[in-house]
Amino acid sequence: MAKRLVIDPITRIEGHLRIEVELDDTNTIRDAWSSITLWRGIETILKGRDPRDAGLIVQRFCGVCTYVHYEASIMACEDAFGVKPPPNARLIRNLTQGIWFLGDHIMHFYHLHGLDWVDIVSALKANPRSAVDLAKSVHPNPWNCSETHYKAVQDRLARFVKSGRLGPFANAYWGNPSYKLPPEANLVIASHYLDALQVSKTAAAAQAIFGGKNPHPQHLVVGGVTCVLDVLNPSRLGEFLYRSKEVNDFVERALIPDVVLAAKYYKDEGLAGVGGGVKNYLCVGGFPLDDEGKTFLFPRGFVKNRNLVKALPIDEAKITEEALHSWYQDDKPQHPYEGTTIPKYTGYDQEGRLKGNEKYTWCKAPRYEGEPCEVGPLARMIVGYAAGDKKIKALIEGTLKATGLPATALFSTLGRTAARAIETKLVGDQIETWVNELVANIKKGDVRTWTPCDVPKEGQGRGMTEPPRGSLSHWIRIKDHKIANYQAIVPSTWNCSPRDKSNKRGPYEESLIGTRLAKADQPLEILRTIHSFDPCMACAVHVIDPGGKIHQFRVA
């Protein structure tokens, strides 16, 4: 007899997510549904406003992947206005996005995802001296590594446990057999969990040098950036560089070794392809390396059916969204420019569960060529690898060699987590290059930070970028100098997508199929896979052209 397991709230994510799975007698997942349980309707709010204001508003889609929607919206406007920002602005945008890439991925690995791999209570049993040896086996000079420090961390954790008030560590799954790290590895990574809090703050502060603050920086305008005082001030550039190096140092000496360490013990899961999910990967191109938008640090492309040797070019006309299983009217697939969506909430069934065969989420189902696609670090690394990008290929091959895993192990929960660490290094290594480019450009006498422009009477445009969580595209239509239509297809819409008309599951759902739970009442394995996507729900839920009053829709 199949049993239904409901996990709500999924914690350690942005926003509100519910996962329901069906387990068979061996506690193996046979079917899965992911549902977003909050709708805010920000695109409805945008209608009729000044297009230049959209960036600041859509930035509030999400406070975790802050900045990225701001940038995508500004890019969509630039496309619609027909304006190109000057080189300094492109570099500042790459730097602000890049530094938070590091901060965000660090925060994700340790604070949002780490506790799925690391058993905090087991760390109390570790021998601090052996922990030092273990840390040194994966890096010659590990971050904050000493017997006394590890001992202090243990004492601090012990105090927590002894007080009986575990705070965020309470009621978790400690001791679950699915935790595979030895106590020493748990201690090393737990110590970095605490250190990472400081490091991600440093990254946030670095972003704020240009952005004014983090979360929600405020330094972009259509046509360029506003932080001209900081751009032209060598000491500010120095402060930025100093902080970015500190963060990058943590990536080199803590993040990468910790992921390699985890991979050693969770190797079997990678080999078995646990959490692999859908077989198509999409990347819309991230971090432009030239002012024409031709070359990217993350190459643009589509990989079909896990073909690691060929990345196909993207045809934007093939992107659709449908709402057959989403709480909106209009079930047919629509291109983002043309979409019309009206909320149609039908609620849960009588037992308070999702109606899996009907509508069951506020998330729509984006498809490329009618196929569900995974987006995010794994997709970027796979597309880059398939496209033959030299830097990406070298990094992936190096990591596979260090862990002794074949390339096929990438298609798993572990692979997704490893891909995130790999690209953190790729971006981290690039930051100094961009600072140098900026300095060289200013030295040439180019101090432009803004290209003059004005709102056109009519127009449409799209902005595409690759924030930490995956492919992001914003689509805007302007009429009478005002926003007529706005839509965002965000990374989590792709990944958290429900089923479509051909009954193909979305990436979260597909990735859970076949996973076996060690304990049916502890959804640890589910959390591990779902978190590996770095879910971010608030931004995944949106609407275009409501066209009707919402309160008139009744709950079925």
Partner 1 sequence: MVGKHYRRLLEQCKIRMDRFEKEYPAPREDFQALLKERGVSRRDFLKWTSFMTAALMLPPIFKPMVTRAAENFSRLPVVWLHFAECTGCSEAFLRSSYPNVDDILLETISLEYHETIMAAAGDQAEKCLEDCIHHFPGKYVCVIEGAIPQGLNGQFMRLGPKGETGVQIGKKVTSKAAATICIGSCAIWGGIPSARPNPTDAVGVSKALGISTVNIAGCPPNTVNFTGTLLYFIMFGAMPPLDGQGRPIWAYGKRVHDFCERRPHYDAGEFVEQWGDEGARRGWCLYKVGCKGPYTFANCPHLRFNDHISWPVMAGHGCIGCTESGFWDTMAPYEKPIHEATFGGGERTVDKIGTVLTVATVAGVAAHGVLSAMRHGRTDKKDGTTTGAGKE
Q: Which residues are catalytic?
A: 14, 62, 65, 69, 469, 492, 536, 539
Residues 15-27 as b or e (16 or more Cβ within 10 Å = b): bbbbbbbbbeeeb
Shortest distance, position 446 Cβ to partner 1, whole Å: 12
> Whose Cβ is closer to partner 1: residue 80's or residue 381's?
80
Residue 99 in contact with residue 203, Cβ under 8 Å? yes
Considering the rule CB under 8 A, would residue 217 count as an interface residue with partner 1?
yes
> Whose Cβ is closer to partner 1: residue 158's or residue 394's?
158
Considering the rule CB under 8 A, would residue 212 count as an interface residue with partner 1?
yes
Within 13 Å of residue 520, how many CA atoms lie on the same side as its CB?
13
> Whose Cβ is closer to partner 1: residue 36's or residue 386's?
36
Considering the rule CB under 8 A, would residue 479 count as an interface residue with partner 1?
no
Among 469, 411, 419, 105, which residue's Cα sits nearest to residue 275? 411
Q: For 363, list phi and psi in degrees, rounded to 5.
A: -90, 135
Considering the rule CB under 8 A, would residue 328 count as an interface residue with partner 1?
no
Considering the rule CB under 8 A, would residue 4 count as an interface residue with partner 1?
no
> Whose Cβ is closer to partner 1: residue 96's or residue 403's?
96
Residues 176-197 as b or e (16 or more Cβ within 10 Å = b): eebbebbbbbbbbbbbbbebbe
Chain positions 61 to 100 lying near partner 1, rule: CB under 8 A, are: 61-64, 66
Shortest distance, position 155 Cβ to partner 1, whole Å: 10
* Tokens, residue 527: 């959390």
- What DSSP letter does each residue of 245-271 carry, written as one string? HHHHHHIIIIIHHHHHHHHHHSHHHHH
List the one residue from 26, 148, 163, 503 that touches partner 1 (CB under 8 A). 163
Residue 27 in contact with residue 550, Cβ under 8 Å? no
Shortest distance, position 187 Cβ to partner 1, whole Å: 16
List the one residue from 10, 254, 365, 410 that touches partner 1 (CB under 8 A). 10
List the one residue from 27, 28, 218, 408 that touches partner 1 (CB under 8 A). 218
List the one residue from 21, 29, 32, 52 that touches partner 1 (CB under 8 A). 52
Considering the rule CB under 8 A, would residue 241 count as an interface residue with partner 1?
no
Considering the rule CB under 8 A, would residue 179 count as an interface residue with partner 1?
no
* Tokens, residue 242: 């100093």
Q: For 44, list phi and psi in degrees, rounded to 5.
A: -65, -40
Considering the rule CB under 8 A, would residue 337 count as an interface residue with partner 1?
no
Considering the rule CB under 8 A, would residue 3 count as an interface residue with partner 1?
no
Within 13 Å of residue 35, how many CA atoms lie on the same side as its CB?
27
Q: Tell me the site size for partner 1, rule CB under 8 A.
A: 102
> Whose Cβ is closer to partner 1: residue 53's or residue 316's?
53
Q: For 458, list phi and psi in degrees, rounded to 5.
A: -130, 160
List the one residue from 232, 394, 440, 518 that touches partner 1 (CB under 8 A). 232
Shortest distance, position 473 Cβ to partner 1, whole Å: 19
Q: Of the listed pieces 229-237, 286-294, 297-305, 438-446, which binds partner 1 according to CB under 8 A?
A: 229-237
- The H or E element that residue 237 is part of is helix 234-250
* Tokens, residue 170: 């309470």
Considering the rule CB under 8 A, would residue 261 count as an interface residue with partner 1?
no
Rounded distance, CA 478 to CA 77, Å?
9
> Whose Cβ is closer to partner 1: residue 21's or residue 282's?
21
Q: Counting Cβ atoms within 10 Å, is residue 315 exposed (0-12), middle (13-18) or buried (19+)?
A: exposed
Considering the rule CB under 8 A, would residue 273 count as an interface residue with partner 1?
no
Amino acid identity, residue 186?
N
Considering the rule CB under 8 A, would residue 538 count as an interface residue with partner 1?
yes
Chain positions 435 to 464 lying near partner 1, rule: CB under 8 A, are: 447-450, 452
Shortest distance, position 64 Cβ to partner 1, whole Å: 5
> Whose Cβ is closer to partner 1: residue 234's or residue 313's?
234
- Torsion (CA) 251, 254, 257, 261 in degrees, nearest 10: -140
Rounded distance, CA 130 to CA 255, Å?
20
Shortest distance, position 18 Cβ to partner 1, whole Å: 8
Considering the rule CB under 8 A, would residue 245 count as an interface residue with partner 1?
no
Classify strands 458-465 and 472-479 as parallel, antiparallel or unpaired. Answer: antiparallel
Q: For 298, list phi and psi in degrees, rounded to 5.
A: -105, 105
> Whose Cβ is closer to partner 1: residue 84's or residue 267's?
84
List the one residue from 25, 352, 445, 457 that touches partner 1 (CB under 8 A). 352
